[in-house]
Structures are given as structure tokens and as C-alpha cells.
Structure 1
Amino acid sequence: MTSSGFPWLTALIVLPLLGAATVWALPRSQRRIVRHVAFAFSIVELALAVGALLAFDTSASGTHQLSETHAWISSFGVSYAVGVDGVGLALVLLSVVLVPLVILAAWREQDGDLDRLRHYVALVLLLEVFMVAVFAARDVFLFYVLFEAMLIPVYFMIGVFGGVHRRYAAVKFLLFSLAGGLIMLVGVIALYLQGPGGPQGFLIDNLVGADIPVTTGRWLFAAFFIAFAIKAPMFPVHTWLPDAAENAPAGTSVLLVGVLDKVGTFGMLTLCLPLFPEASRWAAPAVIVLAVISILYGGLLAIGQKDLMRLIAYTSVSHFGVIVLGIFAFTSVSVAGSSFYMVNHGLSTGGLFLLAGYLVRRRGSQQIADFGGLQKVTPVLAGLFLTVGLSALSLPGMSTFVSEYLVLIGTYARHRPAAVAAVVVVILAALYILLTYQRIFTGPVRTGLETTPDLSTREKWAVAPLVAIMLVLGFYPAPALDLVREPAKVTLELIGVQDVPAVAAQNAAATEGSNK
């Protein structure tokens, strides 16, 4: 059953799968065009996503659209059901924007070994399949399958193509993710038993509002939340991320931190809250405390990092704390801000990882101490790094400022102590971004860096679109906010929480704005 004429979401899922198969099937005599084929598929996927956006009714962004439901394993209640609201569509768009940029940035990687590059870009396209599908899944079991399946390409992208300790990092990533997935599987099965059952028993729409005993609901919430907290990642189950980021290729880190980790916060927003409303309200105070700890802990550890990739990873732990804080603050302003923050974090962190990858490739080292004075040698690289870094610290005029500001004022309207503590993220972000820029790009040029080449045209094109989007949405965020505002209100209705009146949020904004 398809609610719209053209199966947009299925097409978005199938196309990169065909692309991966095509890249893998290229005969040896055609390996020289492997990059062009992969990039072409990713561009067509982006065009298809634009078509889906045009077919989406933004005035009804709180409802799931472009929907399809087909029987899959009816005897177990499993369906192939896809559909997106404004938040899901925004994250799908983020995924399809980042993939061609990752392929473009990896154009000269693998030391010219086209066979290795063929496997890498094919895995990128395969990962795109799962990224799009998981944000569109409307069946709990289908979501779980995709949640686990995306581990496969990431494992190989780290373990085969990563750095010195790639196997350790890949196994650690896999073990953490599988542990969370196993806990979630128990919750998925128990949730089905609590629901209406039948051939469509796993459909999210059929499970929302199910009569679940209070104690059972809290245990189910915990099962899902733990899996999502590991994926996000949140303190204290975040330790796999710095190792993965340190050893993964830069493009892998872009997709891992920029998109895949959003599955955790997306799952909290679209599964934990509507499926377990009472448990979500019950757990909110503890989750908010963990979110604030993540903000402070991630920021403080980022300041002390010597490895550039680990530094960016710890900044993400801090930023994900902000996202989770906004989700569990339970105001429409904070939830909308968190939804927008998921997109903005993907843009800014994706840009940071790409630029860090360029630096590492030129120097042959990830140690910040091995750089210095590059502003004089590579002015374009320095300028882009500073611009993307300013976005990461939420400078006014950049899109991240809008989303972070919404989270803070929305949280302040209901949880003032948590919001006041979270404001420290602004200071920490300024420290770890500006100090890093100072160490790498200012001062005298370090020996051996005098002839470092600046960015090529291809490398500029891999980063420029991200900067352009961050600037456009910074000055004109309305298109993105139109996608996430209504889903936030629907979420509050589903969990049975009365929204804070708009005037209260505006009054809070005045106070929080002065702090900012």
C-alpha cells in the first residue's frame, strides 16, 4: 500500500544499493571509472531526495508522508513500512548530502589502489542504503534490522581502511553496538507481546498508545534507551567513539558521527517517547542529568586532546548531550531545536572531519603538536577550518547557533538549572575550537610544512557546500524549522506533556540571550 503515487523512499533505498552492486561488479579493465560511477549514483540519489522534498507537504510536517506499507513476514507481525515526518526527511536529506562529498573527498585515497578504493566507495553507498532506510522505517522490527545491519559496512570501513589500531577500534565499535542491539532486541520482542499483535503487530502506529503496565513500560524504555545512548553516544557508554574516530578514515568518521550517531537521538525522539510516554516522563530527570554530564565531560576532554580526530569525537559527545537535553526537556521549542541540531551537527562535524582528513594527509600525523603556522602556507584550508570551527562553537550567523539557542531557551523554560549548566558548552566550545586553530594554523611555520599544498579545487568542492548550507540556514533557518516545528508539537501530545506557553519561552529567551 502506497499513500503517494511514486515510491520515493523505496527508490531512495534501492538506488544506492544498485550503485554499490555496480561498483563491485565493474570489471578490472573499468576500475579507473570507479570513482565517477560511485559519485554519479550519489548525485542521482541527491536529486531523487530533492524530488521527495518537493513531494512532501511541509504544512503537515508533523504527519508521516511518502508512506508505503507492504506485508513482509506476516506470521511474525513484520511489515515493510516506511514514511517520514519533517525530522525524518531532514535526516534523510543530511545523509544524501554528505555521501557525495565523502566520495569526492576520498578521490585520491588508498594510495592510488583502485581496487581498494572500489571496495571503500561501494561500502559508502551500501551504508547510504541503511542510513536512508533507518530514518524512514515505520515498523519497529524493520528499524531494529536496519539498526543492526548498518554495523556491517562501518565495521569494514574502520577495520580494513583505518589506521594503525583499526582492528581494535572496529571490534570495540562492534561489541558496544551489538551489546546495545541485543538489549534492544529483548525490548522489541517484549513490546510486540504487549501490543495488539496480528500481521502488522510491529507497526509503530499500531503500538503507540498500547496499554502497557507501568513497570513493564519502564523496563522497555530502558532497553531501547540504552541501545540509543550507546549509538548516540552519551556518557558513560561513549568510549567506543574516540577510538573509532582516531582510527577510521576521515570520510568514515563523517558518516559515523555526522549521520549514524543521529540514529540514537532519532530513536529516542521517534520510538522511546511515543511508545513509552509514562516511562519517558519518569526517566526524564535522570536523562537530563546524564545529558548535562555529557556536555561538560565531552567539552573538557576535547580541550585536553592531543590527537585531532579524538578531539572532534569528544566535541560530538558534548554536542549530543545538548541534543538529548533538548529532547527530554519536553518543550516544543527545545525538541524542535534538538531536531534542527541533529542536522547542523552533521554539517559542522562533517566539515571538521573532512578538513582534519586533509591536514592529516598532508602531514602524515594526527598529532596537533606536529602542526603550526599553516595559515601562512595554506590560507584557504585555514579559512575553511576557522569557518567550520566557528559553526561548531555556534557563532551567531551560523545554523548551529539557531538550534543551540532553541535548545537552551526551551530547556530554560522548564528546567532552569540544567539550562544554566548547559550554557557552559558555549565557553568550552570556544576553547577547544579556537585553541586548536591557534595551535595548527598560527605562529611560525613548523619545519617540514613550508611547502604544504593548499586545497585543490576538488577538495574545496567537498567542503564548500557544507559551509554554504550552514550560512544560509544561519541567516534564514525557516525552511528547516518548518520541517521540525510541527513534529515537536506532535511528540509532546504523544507523551502527554503540556507545552510551555510561547510567552514563557520568550521571557526565558531574554535571560538566556544575555548569558549567550
Structure 2
Amino acid sequence: MNNFPFLILLLLIPLAGSILVGYLGRDRSNETLAKQTALATAVLEFVVAIIMLIAYKPDGPRLQFTTSFGWIDSLGVKFSVGVDGIAIVMIGLVGLLVPIVMIASWHRDSLGDDTNEPGSEDEIAPPKGSVSRMFAWILLLEVFMVGVFAATDVFLFYVLFEVMLVPMYFIIGAYGSAKRRAAAMKFFIYSLVGGLVMLASVIGLYVISRQQLGNATFSWDALRQLDLSHTQQMWLFLGFFVAFAIKAPLVPFHTWLPKAGAEAPIAGGLLLIGILDKVGTFGFLRYCLPLFPWASQKIAPLVLVLAVIGIFYASFQAIGEKDIKRFVTYTSIAHFGFIALGIFAFTTTAGVGAVLYMVNHGIATGLLFLIVGMVIRRGGSRNIADYGGLFRVAPILSGLFLLASLAALALPGTNSFVSEFLVLIGAYATVPVFTIIASVGIVFSAIYALWIFQRAATGPESALVVARKKVFGDLNKREIGVLTPLVILIFAIGIYPKPVLDIITPSVEATLQIDVGVHDPAPTIAKPAALSINGGAK
């Protein structure tokens, strides 16, 4: 099935669904039908993604399910897509989270919390847009998210990297909380500026490819063959790095995320933290390391410093945060510090752990963000101090809140533990000092994860909980159905991660050993039988 056009299908399904749902949503009498159509589209996309995952061969060619046809022939631009083990697991995560956020946002009152930051005044009235229109934007966003992970033409990647800002801008700006417009604008400007910096490097690669190859090209595979000087590598690397560091987000490029994540509706915030942020770390692996191996190693110490600073800075911010949604965004920034550590440690074990961390973060933090949204919807406040005693009125919700908190601190048996352990044990072989310092950050993750749960769920019932006890209640069937897949995956990957590791490992090995050319001193992860990285050799 390697010749089956899975990726084209995965792009066309949500695109067609977005157009159809947008058309149906024009008439409010078709609201239910439009939502059902959107969910059916998302489920179909997930099914196709699972079939593609099953058909993927870890011991096969490096890039699989490739499709390429002319797009802008005069510039050598092709519409080329293909996946390796890193990209395919990220596309699988996209397929999983989109139907989940749709079901979680099925009713109008679940789109946003209609509150502002604690202690501040509302800026504008709560949003009034229809759910179906937001679903249309989500499906359009899904097209670009799948495309950005699948693109094997650098110009195509750049275009998708930029245009995926548009659906998220409208999701935040039209359906978020009271300060949604300012948050959407900050998100858009930061990401757009990063993309424009990357464009300069994309143009630079194009010019150099014409000089060295005779024909200018944006092909990722062809650009890996370029013989770039150290100076060229450094300048071109920095253009890509700035864009990816903003998207990731690494400290100090992170300032847009707390605002955007807090003001976005629950669906938008989950996709922002669970998927869009991963485009940055994916970009490090797909573009920075293979295209600029020397520069990546030279800049690595600086990146590691930023990663460690981010772990501690974000942990301290999370511990003192009053806004429960901003709390989740800061925990994500801390987790991205570990992902960056794994990528720039340049060992197979740490790299595999970083990719697995990207997947696990989307699952575990997705669960936490959904639960936080359910708490806010019941209490009508984002202020952590307003809550207390949730266990007395909503024991199932509180129990899952505890599970999400434990997964956030990487408790053994949960999926986050596997990825964090791999990052640390792999990074210690090459950067022991940074690894030891980062390990201390785990203590602070335990503090902020358990502190938020203690303040919100334990102790006597707060005045707000008492006043709204009639509307609090425990999880309903729809909410249980939304959370159950994520709970299952947290334990499934935590107990038996081998199927995912078997997919990821060959691609990480190819990136580090063939593209970067680094020696791997760390113990290697057990690889699938007859491991092959055909098609990766230069």
C-alpha cells in the first residue's frame, strides 16, 4: 500500500469537509447537520490516518507514501508530500485530537469560558459565533496541520507554515474569551514575523541550489545534498531556528503563548498547545539538523541553555499562576524545554524520547486542558483561588484531574514518564551537566502539578463551588467519551510504548547518523527486526 495516496486523501477529506460545513453553517437551521458533518469528516480522517499508520513500514524507505506533481514549475516548486516515522506519528496525533475537540465543543457554552484574566476588566463581550463555523475553521486548520508535517518541498512547507495561522487566528479571535482579539493578534504577529525570517533562509537555499546543482530546487531531499560553507550554514540555520523557536515556543520567544492559550476557546487552546507548538520542534528535526548539521551542533549549547532556563522559568511561573488556563500554557513551555534538550543532545535515545515526548505531551496536556475547560464551564471562573473541594461535588472529574496532573509530572506508568526518561538517559551521555540541571526541574514539575490539584480539588468547598453546586455535577456521558481515549493512551503508551518507538526510531537514527553524522555513545533502543533506513543515504 506504499503507493496509495494516503496523504492526498488526508488533505482532501478535511478540505472538502470544511467547505461543506461552512456552507451548511450559513443557515442556523442546519446547525446540527453541519456539526454532524464536521464530526463525521474528522472521524473519517482519523480512520484513514490509522490505516496509514498500520501500512507504514518502519524497516522500509525513509520517506513513504510519497506523492509529487508540478506546482510552480518556473521556480522549481513542487507539491511534494511524504512521511517518515516522525511525521506520521504527528499526523496520527492530529487525527486523534480533532474529533475529540469537536465532541468537547459540541454545545455553544463549551466553546469558551466567557471570563477574563483574574483581577482584570473584560475588554469585549463574550463571543456569539456558531459552533459549526468554528468546526469549519478547525477542519481547514487540520488540512494545514497535516500538510505541514507531510511536506517534502521546503517552499510548500513554508506556505503551509504561514497559512495555518489564519484558521487559528479566527478560532481565537472569534470564539475565545474576553481579550481574545488582542491574544489572536499577538499570536499572528509573532508567528508571521518568525515565518518571514525563515523565508529569507528558504530563498537563500534556493539560490545556492541553483549554483551547486544547476537547477534551482526546493526539494528537501535535494537540499540535503548541498555542500554549504560554515558561514552559509550558520546564517541559513538562524533563519529557520528563529521561526521554529517562536513556534515551539522556547524562552525567550514564548511570550505569545500564555496569552493565546488562555484566551483561546478550549478547542483552539488544545490544538494550539497539542499540535501547532510541535511544528517548531518538528522543524528542528526535519530542517535544521538535516540541512545545517554543522550549525546545529555549534548552536546546540545555546539551545540547551535556553531549554534549561525554560524548564525552570516556566515551572516557577506555573507554581505562582492564578489563571488556570495560563497555568497549563506554562507547564507546556516547561515540557518543551525537555523536548529541545532531547533534540540537541544528538543521541538516538534522547532524540527518540523527544519525538515521543511531542506525542505524549499532546495526549497528556490535551487531557489536562479539556478537564480545565470542564471545570471552568461549571464554575464560570479561571481564577484558581475560586475553586476548592471539587472532589466532594465531582469525584470522577477530580479523579481524572489528578490523573492528568500525575501524567504532567511524568509519574511512572504514564506515557510522559517513558519519553522524559528516554530524553534524560540519552542526553546524559553527551551533555551530562545540562541533563543534571534539567533533572532538578522535575522536582518543580511535581510541585506545580500537585499544587494546582490540591488548590482546586481538595479541602473544604469554596464559596463559588457551594454557590454553583447545582450546576457543577460530575462528568456526563459525552464528557466521559471525550476523555476516555486520552486516558487509555496515557496508560497504553506508559506501559507498552514499543509500537510507537518502533515507528520513530529508524527516522531519528537516519537524521542523526546519516544527516548530522554524529556518533551515538548512548545505549540504543531496541530496534525492529531487519531495521533499514533505505533512501536516507546521501
Counterpart secondary structure, 2:59: helix
Equivalent position of 1:477 in the other structure: 497
- Equivalent runs, 1:327-342 vs 2, <5 Å: 327-342=343-358
Equivalent position of 2:134 in the other structure: 120
Bigger Cα displacement from structure 2, 114-123 vs 459-468: 114-123
Match of 1:176, as an amino acid? Y
Q: How far did 1:109 drift?
A: 2.3
Match of 2:132, as an amino acid? R
Q: Distance in 1 between matches of 2:397 and 2:109?
A: 22
Q: Distance in 2 between matches of 1:37 and 1:341?
A: 32
Q: How far did 1:258 drift?
A: 0.3
CA deviations over 1:285-333 (Å, ceiling 9, x no partner): 1111111111111111111100001010011111001001100000000
Q: Distance in 2 between matches of 1:503 and 1:265?
A: 22
Mapped pair 1:289 → 2:309: no
Q: How far did 1:379 drift?
A: 0.6
The verdict on how the C-alpha distance between 1:200 and 1:40 changes in structure 2, with shifts beyond 3 A counting, is: farther
Q: Distance in 2 between matches of 1:444 and 1:309?
A: 23
Q: Distance in 2 between matches of 1:13 and 1:392?
A: 32
- Equivalent runs, 1:223-302 vs 2, <5 Å: 223-302=239-318
CA deviations over 1:385-408 (Å, ceiling 9, x no partner): 111111111000011100000000
Equivalent position of 2:117 in the other structure: none
Counterpart secondary structure, 1:80: strand
Gaps of 5+ in 1: 506-516
- The question of whether the paired residues in 2 share the 8 Å contact of 1:31 and 1:115 is answered with no
Match of 1:450, as an amino acid? K
- TM-score, normalised by the number of residues in structure 2: 0.91
- Equivalent runs, 1:75-474 vs 2, <5 Å: 75-110=74-109, 116-196=130-210, 201-447=217-463, 448-451=467-470, 452-474=472-494
Q: Distance in 2 between matches of 1:171 and 1:391?
A: 32
- TM-score, normalised by the number of residues in structure 1: 0.95
Gaps of 5+ in 2: 112-126, 527-538
CA deviations over 1:118-167 (Å, ceiling 9, x no partner): 11111111111111111100000000000001000000111111111111
- The question of whether the paired residues in 2 share the 8 Å contact of 1:77 and 1:198 is answered with no
Q: Distance in 1 between matches of 2:295 and 2:216?
A: 24
- The question of whether the paired residues in 1 share the 8 Å contact of 2:347 and 2:522 is answered with no
- The question of whether the paired residues in 1 share the 8 Å contact of 2:426 and 2:522 is answered with no
Q: Distance in 2 between matches of 1:200 and 1:14?
A: 29
Match of 2:94, as an amino acid? S
CA deviations over 1:321-368 (Å, ceiling 9, x no partner): 100110000000000000100000000111111111111111111010
- The question of whether the paired residues in 2 share the 8 Å contact of 1:333 and 1:407 is answered with yes
Equivalent position of 2:3 in the other structure: 5
Q: Distance in 1 between matches of 2:300 and 2:510?
A: 18
Q: How far did 1:501 drift?
A: 4.5
**RMSD, aligned CA:** 1.7
The verdict on how the C-alpha distance between 1:111 and 1:281 changes in structure 2, with shifts beyond 3 A counting, is: closer
Q: How far did 1:77 drift?
A: 1.3
- The question of whether the paired residues in 1 share the 8 Å contact of 2:128 and 2:175 is answered with no
Bigger Cα displacement from structure 2, 445-454 vs 135-144: 445-454
Match of 2:193, as an amino acid? A
Q: How far did 1:114 drift?
A: 9.4
Q: Distance in 2 between matches of 1:383 and 1:36?
A: 30
- The question of whether the paired residues in 1 share the 8 Å contact of 2:356 and 2:419 is answered with yes
Q: How far did 1:116 drift?
A: 1.3
Match of 2:358, as an amino acid? M
Match of 1:173, as an amino acid? F
CA deviations over 1:202-230 (Å, ceiling 9, x no partner): 01000003011211110100000000000
Mapped pair 1:37 → 2:37: yes
Counterpart secondary structure, 1:57: coil
Q: Distance in 1 between matches of 2:128 and 2:427?
A: 50
Q: How far did 1:244 drift?
A: 0.5
Equivalent position of 1:59 in the other structure: 59
Match of 1:460, as an amino acid? I
Q: Distance in 1 between matches of 2:65 and 2:431?
A: 36
Q: Distance in 2 between matches of 1:209 and 1:111?
A: 50
Q: Distance in 1 between matches of 2:181 and 2:351?
A: 37
Q: Distance in 2 between matches of 1:199 and 1:21?
A: 38
Counterpart secondary structure, 2:490: helix
- The question of whether the paired residues in 1 share the 8 Å contact of 2:86 and 2:507 is answered with yes
Q: How far did 1:465 drift?
A: 0.3
- The question of whether the paired residues in 2 share the 8 Å contact of 1:414 and 1:500 is answered with yes
Match of 2:15, as an amino acid? L
Within the candidate set 476, 495, 504, 2:516 is matched to 495
- The question of whether the paired residues in 1 share the 8 Å contact of 2:3 and 2:66 is answered with no
